[in-house]
Structure 1
Amino acid sequence: MSNRWVLSEYDVTSPYQQPAPFLKAAKQHGLSVTHTRLFGGRRDGVELLTVQNGEFSFTAIPTRGMGIHQAKYGTTRIGWDSPVEGPVHPQFVPLSEPSGLGWLDGMDELIVRCGLESNGAPEFDAESGRLKYGLHGRIANQPTEDVVVEVSPDGEMCISGEIRETRFLCYNVAMKTEIRTKTGENGFRIRDSIINRAAQESTAQMLYHINMGAPILGEGASVVCPVTELCPRNDHAANDVDTWSTYKGPTAGYVEQVYFMQLAADANGDTCTLLKSASGEQGVSVHFNVKQLPYFIIWKNTAAEADGYVTGLEPSTNFPNPRSFEEKNDRVLRIAPGATYEIDLGLQFHPDAASVAAIEKKIAGLTEGKDAKVHTTPQSTWCS
């Protein structure tokens, strides 16, 4: 097809040259994509795909599980400042470090996937004490295979590829991904298809760690969610459960607070959440389906800017507890041999007060006439 750019078909003498028909198709719809490779330090070898769609742009990272490094609307950054200063090449992320926290060595994306074999807190073998599952899994630190960029006749650009999480005799699951944006859209949409390539049933988990900081996050910013049930993850979070939806400014020594919840949705299962600035003049909404992602997590980490001032809006197939706890409470996906589990996720930027108010009204409509059940203490079946 003339509107396709197949990155795996590079001529090694000119690896970044886009086919002329593809360039023409993109330009016709006011779209463009730039491929770059970083050199030096822990970024060395990281490949990026930056899509420009009018005022809106975003950068995907094929080297890191096709996560989204950052997005922008004009000069407004949608993302956060991590002390990690990535994107870090996976070769420098020690996933098997004995602490189980090596995953954090690479964390600085706007959207990073957690999964597939596990997606929660580290878990250790009870007898030997050895690490069984590291923090947030391996998928974000796997390379993307068979990357293709294409433009449809109606002006939609799609980046696609496949990320494989396989280990001989242990695990054989892959994830096909598509990231789409259409001419004039201030955002993008993701479809991930988790495929069991094994000859027997396999399990999986998925969590989308969507991380945002300044300028949208700031003192007085708030998150708007159509909550049906909510509980704090631990006693520390329970201390501030009454203010779970509002944010402080950067606070040195702040200890993270996490809230688990389930959300209301429309008749099709579609729902959304919103992070809005203190003024209400800007916001970012996250769209997903509760039949695919039935749980939602708010991660508040309003530490000093130098330590990573950030909040996470996290749709998930489960809560991010140790995997065995989630399996005990029947919160793991069970995928038949050759079967696929599909997930749809969208992120949209709202550049003015009117668009923020419109999405806030939509969210309010999902819970109209319903009262949320807010627990003031952690719940034994939700929190490990």
Structure 2
Amino acid sequence: MSNRWILSEYDVESPFQQPAPFLKMLKSHGLEVTHTRLIGGRRDGVELLTVNNGDFSFTTIPTRGMGIHQAKHGDLRLGWNSPVEGPVHPRFVPLAEPSGLGWLDGMDELIVRCGLESNGAPEHDSETGRLKYPLHGRIANQPTEDVVVEVSEEGELCIRGEVRETRFLCYNVAMETEIRTQPGEKGFRIRDRITNRSAQSTTAQMLYHINLGAPILGKGASVVCPAVEICPRNDCAASGIVDWSTYSEPKVGFEEQVFFMQLAADNKGDTCALLKNSEGDKGVSVHFNIKQLPYFIVWKNTAAEQDGYVTGLEPATNFPNPHSFEKEKGRVINLGPEAVYEIDLALQFHPDAASVKEVETKIANLTAGREAKLHRIPQADWCS
């Protein structure tokens, strides 16, 4: 077919050569796709797919669960400067490290998925001390199978693949993902389909860790979202609850603060959240549906630039507490045999004050002036 590029069928001698009819169709719509493989260091063997739709570009990582490494609008980069300096090949990420924190060795992306079996804080067996669930799960460090790039007659480009989280006798769940954009779109859209491939029922969790740093993040930047209830994760977050939505300049030794919340939505369940800069003339918005992703987390890590000055906007199926706590509170996806759970997510860049104001107005209309219920201390049902 002239509109497809099947990466799993490339010739070993010329792995990045696109079929001529596909390349011709891309060019006719002003689109470009580049496939590269990194060499050397902890990046060695990582494969990247970079899409340029004319106004906007982004890079996804088939080697790392089809996360989004970074995006650009012109010369302005969306993402952050992680001290990890990835993207890191999963073979250098020790997920089974006894501390449960090995996931952090690879944290570098603009968007990284956390799941599927679990996400949130690491959890250890209370009797043996054995690690049961590592920080943020395994899906971000799994390879993507059957990667295909397609372009429609109208010019919409789609990258499709499947990421499988499977362990014999333990877990058998897959995520089929589609990442879409079209000419002139200042962003992209994601659809993930989580499928239980087992003959037995199971559970799943998903959190989208969307990480943004400078130049959008800076002193005076702020989060705008239609919160109806807000809760600090711990005492450190409680100390900053009054200023939860605003950001300071980088501060050496800053201790991360995390805020759990639920958002208002329209009658279809659609909602969004915005990070805007201090001038209000640039921003990034995240769009999702609370029927699919009912919880929202704001992660503030305004540490020194060298240590990772970043904030996270995180739609999720649950709060990022240990798996057993969330399961006890009913915040897991229950999947019967062959059952499917679909999630739609979009990220959009706003290049000027008018487009920032437009999304702010949309958010304001979702709450219609209602004040959010603000908890001053962690709540037992929300925080482990």
Q: Distance in 1 between the 2:24 and 2:287 partners? A: 31
2:16 matches 1:37: no
Q: Distance in 2 between the 1:174 and 1:285 partners? A: 28
Whether the 8 Å contact between 2:113 and 2:140 is mirrored in structure 1 is yes
The aligned residue for residue 257 of structure 1 is 257
Whether the 8 Å contact between 2:55 and 2:185 is mirrored in structure 1 is no
What amino acid is the match of 1:206? M
Aligned length: 384
2:165 matches 1:169: no
The aligned residue for residue 271 of structure 2 is 271
Q: List per-residue Cα deviations over 1:202-254 (Å, max 9, x = no partner).
A: 10000000000000000000000100111000111111101100001110000
Q: SS at 1:189's partner residue?
A: strand
The aligned residue for residue 354 of structure 1 is 354
Whether the 8 Å contact between 2:223 and 2:246 is mirrored in structure 1 is yes
The aligned residue for residue 189 of structure 2 is 189
Q: Distance in 2 between the 1:56 and 1:183 partners? A: 9
Q: Distance in 2 between the 1:331 and 1:339 partners? A: 17
Matches within 5 A, 1:1-16: 1-16=1-16
Q: SS at 1:169's partner residue?
A: coil
Q: Distance in 1 between the 2:79 and 2:295 partners? A: 22
Q: Distance in 2 between the 1:13 and 1:255 partners? A: 49
- 1:55, distance to aligned residue in structure 2 (A): 2.2
The aligned residue for residue 383 of structure 2 is 383
Q: Distance in 2 between the 1:185 and 1:28 partners? A: 16
Q: List per-residue Cα deviations over 1:26-72 (Å, max 9, x = no partner).
A: 11111110000000000000000000011210000000000000000
Q: SS at 1:268's partner residue?
A: coil
Q: SS at 1:205's partner residue?
A: strand
The aligned residue for residue 141 of structure 2 is 141
Structure 1 runs of 4+ aligned residues shifted over 3 Å read: none
Q: Distance in 2 between the 1:370 and 1:277 partners? A: 24
Q: Distance in 1 between the 2:339 and 2:227 partners? A: 31
- 1:339, distance to aligned residue in structure 2 (A): 1.0
Kindly report the root-mean-square deviation, in angstroms, between the aligned alpha carbons of the 2 structures. 0.5
Q: SS at 1:118's partner residue?
A: coil
Gaps of 5+ in 2: none
Whether the 8 Å contact between 2:55 and 2:183 is mirrored in structure 1 is no
The aligned residue for residue 292 of structure 2 is 292
Q: SS at 1:17's partner residue?
A: coil
Q: List per-residue Cα deviations over 1:292-348 (Å, max 9, x = no partner).
A: 000000000000000000000000000000000000100010011011000000000
What amino acid is the match of 2:203? T
The aligned residue for residue 72 of structure 1 is 72
Identity of aligned residues (%): 76
TM value normalised by structure 1:
1.00
Q: List per-residue Cα deviations over 1:91-130 (Å, max 9, x = no partner).
A: 0000000000000000000000000000110000000011
2:210 matches 1:210: yes
The aligned residue for residue 246 of structure 1 is 246
Whether the 8 Å contact between 2:258 and 2:300 is mirrored in structure 1 is yes
- 1:349, distance to aligned residue in structure 2 (A): 0.2
The aligned residue for residue 156 of structure 1 is 156
Q: SS at 1:25's partner residue?
A: helix
Q: Distance in 1 between the 2:11 and 2:83 partners? A: 37
